[in-house]
Structure 1
Amino acid sequence: MNQAYFQLPLDKQNNLINDGYKLFAIYPYKKASMIAIANEADISKSLLFYYFKNKKEYYLFLFDTAVDFIDEYKEKSIDKEIKDFFELINKTMERRMQIIHDYPYLYKFITRAYYENFEDIKLEIDEKKRIMLQTKEEEILNIIDYDKFKNPSDVKILLDIVLSVAEGCMRGLEDLDLWKIQGKVNEFKVMMNSLKKYYYKKEYLIKL
């Protein structure tokens, strides 16, 4: 990546990022055209390739930028004092649903990238996903209150279940309005409440 990109005015940097999200959200990696992205950003194709040597480099930059943005959003919106597993999970889901509503192209892009199977990009994305998921799990496992669980040794299995449920709930939500998204959040909370009854000690079984 050419460091000249970072010398651009911030609005032009943002245009290149947001227009990339839009085009790669609409089209899979193989079909997305750098010419179309350049046109959307109102710059020449040669200038786009001056900043990013090829489509792959540009795509991976967009993916990293999206992940960084979501992490920053999380830092601003989550109370670090929360130790309850299910409260933390529900707050995380609410935050993600808000991102889907507020930044639809970003979330469409990262969702499509997450399931990208084109060989030219898949290995790099898979490695980034592995690191991202490992970090996410470690963050949760390191701060929750294990005393509330009937069997603390089950927490890692529970987390895998919850993350799979959350992923299923979020797929295909990019075009929903806030009211429908909130409906999905409520459905998710009902499922979490059911799991809580199974995994938590009786004295901690309060409504989510």
Structure 2
Amino acid sequence: MCTCHPGRKEGNMYEKFHELPVEKQTCIINAAMEVFSKNEYKQANTDDIAARAGISKGSLFYYFHNKRDLYLYLYDYTANVMKSQILDKDFWKITDLFERIRYGALCKVRILKKNPHILDFCVRCFYSKEEAVSSQLNSMNTELTDNAAESYFAGIDCSKFKDGVSAQKVYQMMNWMSDGYIHSKRMKEDALDLEQMMKEFEEWMEMLRTMMYKEEYLHECNRDT
């Protein structure tokens, strides 16, 4: 199951929860994820979570001290699910930055399709404002983003980039475009279409690849496709 976020010390905080059968842990996690994905933090009702999980509210707070602890646990759980299913052996075999970004994006889409509540929960976590957990979430999001960047750059072949082009800045641009896309959808209150988002993502990558790669590597990419 989930391990504690590296920025916090877990100790025995979730010991009782981790003593439950895995099926029961999963049931509670899914119930909490559903409620938090559909509501802002303040409006998420722990009575609803307990009812969906088939336990009493007292039992829920026996496993988690309060709503805030449960919410942050779900954040850790989600981060670990993503990390374990993206950073696999195939991920590390890829040395082209754009291909590694594409691989990670496809993995995320696959995970989110299987776990629809994770998508809305993640969006709320990354765009949380004026919530009781917003300050800590912002710090955790920054740490998570920095750690992800380190993974994407490890072993990357930067010789493909034109002179003066920073691979780090290219990666940052991709993140900004993705954030802007999601923010635009939220402002319009449009549902996120993962297939459409991935299509747009592919187009952005190809435009950046054309602008940032040396000519000989563009020809190489065309042969590969």
**TM-score w.r.t. length of structure 2:** 0.83
Q: Percent identity?
A: 27
Deviations 1:54-74 (A, max 9, x none): 100110011101100110111
Residue of structure 2 equivalent to 1:181:
194
Residue of structure 1 equivalent to 2:175:
163
AA paired with 1:136? A
How far did 1:75 drift? Answer: 2.6
Distance 1:22 1:154 in 2: 40
How far did 1:13 drift? Answer: 0.5
Segment drifting more, 92-101 vs 191-200: 92-101
Residue of structure 1 equivalent to 2:3:
none
Distance 2:93 2:99 in 1: 11
Matched, 1:195 2:195: no
AA paired with 2:140? K
How far did 1:143 drift? Answer: 2.0
AA paired with 2:142? R
1:13 pairs with one of 14, 25, 42: 25
Residue of structure 1 equivalent to 2:37:
25
Distance 2:128 2:97 in 1: 31
How far did 1:34 drift? Answer: 0.7
Structure 2 residue runs of 5 or longer lacking an equivalent are 1-12
Segment drifting more, 50-59 vs 136-145: 136-145
The answer as to whether partners of 2:47 and 2:57 remain within 8 angstroms in 1 is yes
Distance 2:88 2:95 in 1: 17
How far did 1:164 drift? Answer: 1.5
Distance 1:204 1:142 in 2: 20
Deviations 1:171-193 (A, max 9, x none): 659966xxx63343233212211
Distance 1:101 1:136 in 2: 21
How far did 1:142 drift? Answer: 2.4
Matched, 1:67 2:84: no
Distance 2:80 2:210 in 1: 35
Segment drifting more, 6-15 vs 72-81: 72-81
Distance 1:2 1:98, change over 3 A: closer
Distance 1:139 1:185 in 2: 21
Taking CA–CA contacts closer than 8 Å with sequence separation of 6 or more, which of the two structures ends up with the larger relative contact order? 1
Distance 1:168 1:13, change over 3 A: same
Distance 2:43 2:131 in 1: 13
Distance 1:182 1:44 in 2: 39
Residue of structure 1 equivalent to 2:61:
49
2:151 pairs with one of 139, 151, 174: 139
**TM-score w.r.t. length of structure 1:** 0.90
Residue of structure 1 equivalent to 2:10:
none
